Amino acid sequence: MYQALPYKTWHATNLFPASPPLNNLFTSSSNRTVAKRRDNTNMKNLVDENAVIIFGRRGCCMSHVVRRLLLGLGVNPTVYDVDEQDEQSVFDELNKMSPTGNGVNNCPVTFPTVFIGGRWFGDLDRIIATHITGELTPILKDAGALWL
């Protein structure tokens, strides 16, 4: 019989190299664009350069749900997998880019969070709610993530 592995024992180091090449910020693995963090990477540049980017914890099932929903609509989002040791620094940088961006703890940014068209859009709840109401597709078209 198979035994389930706890989250802490599973490491994605087999999927991605531990240290990315200095000249390559993005890698593509099985039709998935994954943003890799370098020390001099500015989160604002990542958000501005991608029509849709998902920030989520590495191995998070909710990030996978958001990605699959967007793929189903015809969008190929960039996924930024946040490692456990980088989580607080990434969270602080994302808080500064949110609408209430003063870096205070009451900021609504949670993982997974989605930026569309260079602006913070929301988390899983907002993505699903706008998809159900039919408002997500026009927003993605305006951002340039959908061509049709």
Tell me if residue 123 falls in helix, strand or coil.
Answer: strand
User: Does residue 40 lie within any of the structural domains?
Assistant: yes
For residue range 89-128, list pLDDT tens digits in order.
888 888 888 776 544 445 567 889 999 998 989 889 999 9
User: Does residue 46 lie within any of the structural domains?
Assistant: yes
The domain containing residue 138 runs over which residues?
23-143
As for how many domains the chain has, the answer is 1
Rounded to an integer, what distance in angstroms lies between the CA atom of residue 118 and that of residue 137? 16
For residue range 28-67, list pLDDT tens digits in order.
444 556 665 544 357 888 888 999 999 998 888 999 999 9
Contact 56, 80 (CB under 8 A): yes
Which CATH number covers residue 133? 3.40.30.10
Smallest CA-to-CA distance from 13 within 91, 84, 75 is with 84
First-to-last CA distance in the chain?
47
Backbone torsions φ then ψ of 58, nearest 5 degrees? -60, 125
pTM for the predicted model, two decimal places: 0.69
User: Does residue 8 lie within any of the structural domains?
Assistant: no
